Amino acid sequence: MRYLIFFVIIIAFTSECYSQKPALNIRIQNSVNEITEQSREIYIDLHRNPELSQMEVRTSGQMADQLQKLGFDVTTGVGGNGVVGIFRNGKGKTIMLRTDMDALPIKENTGLPFASTIIMKDYLGVENPVMHACGHDMHMTTWLGILRTLVSMKDEWKGTIMAVAQPAEEGSAGALAMINDGLFRRFTVPDYVLCYHVSAELPAGTIGYYPGPIFAGVKSAEITVYGSGGHGAMPHTTIDPVVIAARIILDIQTIVSREINPVKPAVVTVGAIHGGTKSNIIPDEVKMLLTIRFFENEVYETIRESLINITRGAAISAGLPESRMPLLTFSNADNPPVTNNPDLVLRSADLMKNMLGEKNVIRVDPATGAEDFGKYGLTDEKIPIAIFWLGGVNPSKYQEHLKSSVQLPPLHNSAFYPDFDPAFKTGVSAMTRTVIGLMGN
């Protein structure tokens, strides 16, 4: 009889646990449905009024006002236009939720009734049309929706929410600026750091995850190729740097194909080449600009050494003296790889599947795009970080794309915009469920 009673208690306890999960999910869904209309208005306003990197004055003010209305302790001007909000709800873990705020110098071509017509001067005084072509307006609105939902459901969790609105992601400067301004020293060191990036390849209603390096590291390089200029009609009296540069460009294509382990992704692209002024003049030098993408620092070092060897070899074969060897300059200010903490990602993905269903939380491949979010995980505190793709493509357009290979506007394209309602509801409900779960509830 004792064993029967024990068995009945176990069954009852298990049934109660399973019944609580759907109840929590339903409560989250109801809360998200209630805030969608108001949140859409915020999104439209942000979309209409984009601001360039390090110029996000109006935007950061909006983020600060929204946080204050939710009851956060708010600090502005962190690392420039950065905003930090702290919401304490008893003893427990601290989870940092990050959004970026800046837009891009692109003329919008979406045809939306609330399309941006903003023109801004950059720091060089050059006027540029501006739009949210990378979805940061979606990031901010979803971020605010998550925070609003968590505050309204604070009886479901205990701990501290650290809300960070970051400037200058597009310039790869914002995260480091906030860290250097004492983000973790002045406020608190979170247990986890989480965020989204909207996807131009996944349908709205889905989440993409990867437990490891999800975004590539990026470095820039400049190569100056020297020669000995002269008349274009008498090339035998010159050492043509245009020809040397052409040799270098072709040889660069063998770095990834022949020097890097095929299972380790990398990209080396010559994005610009400048040399000469007239068709009949052979110049004295040519400049090339390169972008390098990698997921491991060892791969970057191999690429770096190969570039030195290739450029030097081309110059020697052309007969240039030691004093005229090519000059290579490698940047130090670009982004490291964004390396998701595998345990955090897999725990979060399970919680998201609990909320959205297994089929809507998709393991994806790493992307060679860059994000400065990875810097939050490289501080002395070694904080686990995780960034997830938030599906943004209208589901009907996505299906049309699959059937007929119709191209979808990519990120940083003048025609890109997310399908707000399904993306917003998915992003808010999934991350809210994740935060509550990570808090231990």
pLDDT in tens, 376-408: 999 999 999 999 999 999 999 999 999 987 889
Which listed residue (100, 169, 240, 371) is catalytic? Answer: 100
CATH numbers and ranges of domains, the chain: 6-215+340-438 (3.40.630.10), 220-330 (3.30.70.360)
Predicted confidence at residue 21, as pLDDT, reads: 58
Question: Over 80: is that where the pLDDT of 414 sits?
Answer: yes
Task: Tell me if residue 65 is catalytic.
Answer: no
Q: What was the pLDDT predicted at 331? A: 87
Q: Is 170 a catalytic residue?
A: yes
pLDDT the model gives residue 441 = 67
- 221 pLDDT exceeds 80? yes
Residue 16's pLDDT is 39
pLDDT recorded at residue 26: 97
Predicted local confidence at residue 22, as pLDDT? 84
Q: At what angle do helices 57-69 and 2-48 cross, to 10 degrees?
A: 140
Rounded to the nearest integer, the mean pLDDT of the chain is: 94
Active-site entry in 170, 191, 296, 372: 170
Q: What digits encode the pLDDT tens for the residues 287-335?
A: 999 999 999 999 999 999 999 999 999 999 999 999 999 999 998 767 8
